[in-house]
Amino acid sequence: MSADTDTVPILKITNLVKSFGPIRALRGVDFELRRGEIHALAGENGAGKSTLMNVIDGILAPDSGEIFLDGEPVTIKSSAMAQRLGIGFVHQEIALCPDVTVAENIFMSVTNTSRTPLMDYRGIERKSSEILSQLGEIDPAALVRSLSISQQQLVEIAKALTLDCRLLILDEPTAALTEREAQILFGIMRHLAARGISIIYISHRMVEIFENCDRVTVFRDGQYITTMNVADTTPGAVVSAMVGRVIDNLYPPKQAEHQKSDEVILDVRNLCEVRRFRDVSFQLRKGEILGLAGLIGAGRSEIVKGICRLEGQVSGDVFLHGRKLDLKNYGQSIAEGLVYLSEDRKGDGLFLDMAIAANVSALDVAQVAAGGIISERRETEQAERLGRSLNLKCGHVGQPVSALSGGNQQKVAIAKMLSVSPKVVFLDEPTRGVDVGAKAEIHRIVRDLANRGVGVIVISSELPELIGVCDRVLVVREGQITGEVTGIGMTEDRIMYLASIGEEQRQAS
Ligand SMILES: Nc1ncnc2c1ncn2[C@@H]1O[C@H](COP(=O)(O)OP(=O)(O)OP(=O)(O)O)[C@@H](O)[C@H]1O
Ligand SMILES: [Mg+2]
């Protein structure tokens, strides 16, 4: 390699501008990517990260600014063209076709980049099944619909890796992955980088950036702020650059001793679901935030979905404020005030193409109706009021949810939940894909709810979050509650031990 190719960046962006109507998503940003480096792009929700990636991938045309690949100016007109130029892109949102197989999804995404008119299907098949087995033994013949969200995310990654790219963009790839899957991905990233492939890595998790990336660039409000060598900086410095202020409290204060109450809001007794969980019993007391910890697949989401009758054939009893409920479906659950915030924002959380206001009122449109028809004015008022309380950043509430950044979409999902004045909320991964500033806000909102007497149950795969937010944590393993931690007993080690010890015992016997 000559000195020249070493110093010319593989990708260089200068003064790039992109607006969506009045929203100035990128206000003249610069960016530079070296050959074989893993370069993190950090910034709060709405900072413009995904927008820039969509420009690089030819999905969005910039208003002005220049893109250079290997020193040559280029105009990337489409994703197909980006693919031909060797750019691979794993999008922030999963966009697979659910009703066809994993292999077919991968084939559909490949455009013919060879010089012959024929596609090398054999080659693609060999390569994709090799990659899928590396990533976590996913059957290429399985229907995408049958896969978990984390497996679907792995298929998205496999799709990009099947193409021989020289520049790989990963937009929050680990938001839906388990810790183990994420580690496999990091291994693959390092392997690719060692082969000279350049990677742009977007994540809100500082640990990931600091463990895996060479440099980090920070955007704030559509502007370029800085680029730093990871080895020469600290997570605190990156976060300050992102938010332009110091975030002192990621977690609000917990329930004080004198605030503890004996009043039981929710009492769950012997809840069972044939294949998924059994004998689940616990009480949720007034003012407390109760966490559910466990490995992915342990049954945490299934349990809370069972309580709300979202899925499964559930037996056992649920008492709300001492009264036994007889729920048959989720509609009845909402009417009683038991509301579930889905971990799958896109799948069953929100209607992305619909307006923010319509999403917020979706659980109970009667509230915003007048004389039997939906009143747009009331709907708008409700969305604006809840949006304000959550500090939602949007142009106006008539915008489609798809136009919002990930963190702001999550706030819409929370507003939707709050619109029905819930008695108990089940929050499944409430801050997934949410930036640090918004995360702190969501934690504050959750604590406010508990203080106001709403029962709060939180599921999170991020242990620091569970420990930081909850007053008490139940550990679920293989569909059963196997432990409880509170106070100073709430440590990552202790929770991990309770969440996984079952397997160790089995091996021992
Ligand atoms: N199609 C669109 N129409 C209108 N506005 C948009 C559109 N796409 C993005 N925006 C706006 O552009 C800004 C930048 O959004 P972008 O998705 O790039 O943020 P991000 O940095 O990727 O955030 P996150 O971390 O939440 O994913 C936001 O204000 C967003 O609302
Ligand atoms: Mg984004």
Q: Report the separation in Å between the CA atom of 388 and the middle of ligand 2, taken as the mean of its atom positions.
A: 22
Whose C-alpha lies nearest to ligand 1, atom 29?
A: 46
Among 405, 330, 321, 327, smallest CA distance to 362 is for 330
Distance from Cα 194 to the centre of ligand 2, integer Å: 26
What is d(CA 229, CA 498) in angstroms, rounded to the nearest whole number?
38
Compute CA distances 172 → 50, 83, 212, 447, 470, whole Å: 9, 20, 14, 27, 25
Question: CA-to-CA distance for 342 and 489, rounded, in angstroms?
Answer: 29
Number of neighbours of residue 175 by Cβ within 10 angstroms: 22
Q: Which residues pair with 459 in a beta bridge?
A: 292, 428
CB of 171 closer than 6 A to ligand 1? no
- Are the CB atoms for 428 and 343 separated by under 8 Å? yes
What's the confidence (pLDDT) of residue 331? 92
| Ligand 1 pocket member 405 (CB < 6 A) | yes
Helix H or strand E encompassing 21: none
How far is it, in rounded angstroms, from Cα 258 to Cα 24? 48
User: Is 435 touching ligand 1 by the criterion CB < 6 Å?
Assistant: yes
Q: Which ligand is nearest to the CA of 439?
A: 1
CB of 46 within 6 A of ligand 1: the answer is yes
Q: Which amino acid is at 67?
A: I
Mutate which of 51, 54, 350, 442 for ligand 1 pocket (most atoms within 8 A of beta carbon): 51
- Please work out whether the CB of residue 100 comes within 6 Å of at least one atom of ligand 1: no
Pocket test for ligand 1, best of 17, 50, 60, 439 (most atoms within 8 A of CB): 50
Nearest CA to ligand 1 atom 3: 403
Q: Which atom of ligand 1 is nearest to the CA of 204?
A: 25
Q: Is 25 in the pocket of ligand 1 (CB under 6 A)?
A: yes
Q: Please, what is the Cα angle at 153 between 344 and 44, to 5 degrees?
A: 65
CB of 345 within 6 A of ligand 1: the answer is no
Residues 389 and 116: their CA atoms lie apart, in Å, by 58
Q: Is 422 in the pocket of ligand 1 (CB under 6 A)?
A: no
Three-class DSSP category at 285? strand
234 CA from centroid of ligand 1 (Å): 26
Beta-carbon count within 10 A of 417 CB? 24
Cα dihedral across residues 372, 409, 298, 481: positive or negative: negative
Report pLDDT digits (tens) over 152-206: 888 888 888 887 789 999 999 888 787 888 888 899 899 899 999 999 999 988 8
Domains of the chain: 3-243 (3.40.50.300), 247-337+422-509 (3.40.50.300), 348-419 (no CATH)
Strands 264-273 vs 277-285: parallel, antiparallel or unpaired: antiparallel
C-alpha angle 81/86/91, rounded to 5°?
80
pLDDT tens for each residue of 314-331? 999 999 999 999 999 999
pLDDT per residue as tens, the chain (509 positions): 444 556 799 999 999 999 988 788 999 999 999 999 999 999 988 899 999 999 999 999 999 999 999 999 999 999 989 999 999 999 887 788 888 888 888 877 776 555 566 666 677 778 788 888 888 778 888 899 988 888 888 888 888 888 778 999 999 988 878 788 888 889 989 989 999 999 999 998 888 999 999 999 999 989 999 999 999 999 888 988 988 766 667 788 888 888 888 999 999 999 999 888 999 999 999 999 999 998 877 889 999 999 999 987 899 999 999 999 999 999 999 999 999 998 877 666 789 899 999 999 998 888 888 888 888 999 999 999 999 988 888 889 999 998 887 788 889 999 999 999 999 999 999 988 788 878 888 899 999 999 999 999 999 988 889 999 999 999 998 899 999 999 888 988 888 888 886 444 433 33
Q: CA 260 to CA 282: how far, in whole Å?
A: 17
Comparing CA positions, the residue from 8, 137, 134, 120 lying closest to residue 68 is 8
* Contact in structure between 407 and 45 (CB atoms under 8 Å): yes
Task: Report whether residue 47 contacts ligand 1, using a CB cutoff of 6 Å.
Answer: yes
Contacts of 303 (CB under 8 A, 6+ apart): 271, 276, 277, 280, 292, 476, 479
Q: Tens digits of per-residue pLDDT, 475-502?
A: 998 899 999 999 888 988 888 888 886 4
Choosing from 20, 94, 356 the residue with most ligand 1 atoms within 8 A of its CB, the one to mutate for a pocket test is 20
Element (H, E) at 477: strand 472-477
Point out the ligand nearest to the CA of residue 52: 1
CA distance 340 to 383: 19
Residue nearest to atom 5 of ligand 1 (CA): 403
The two structure tokens encoding residue 125: 């098949």
Q: What is the pTM of this model?
A: 0.69
Please give the distance, rounded to the nearest whole angstrom, from the Cα atom of residue 46 to the centre of ligand 2. 7
Q: Give, rounded to a whole angstrom, the gap between the first and last alpha carbons of the chain.
A: 57
Q: Is any ligand 1 atom within 6 A of the Cβ of residue 396?
A: no
Which protein residue has the closest C-alpha to ligand 1 atom 28?
46
CA of 113 to the centre of ligand 2 (A): 28
Predicted pLDDT at 359: 94
3-state SS, 148-186, equals CHHHHHHHHHHHHHHCCCCEEEEECCCCCCCHHHHHHHH
Ligand of minimum distance to the alpha carbon of 404: 1
By the 8 A CB rule, do 254 and 450 touch?
no
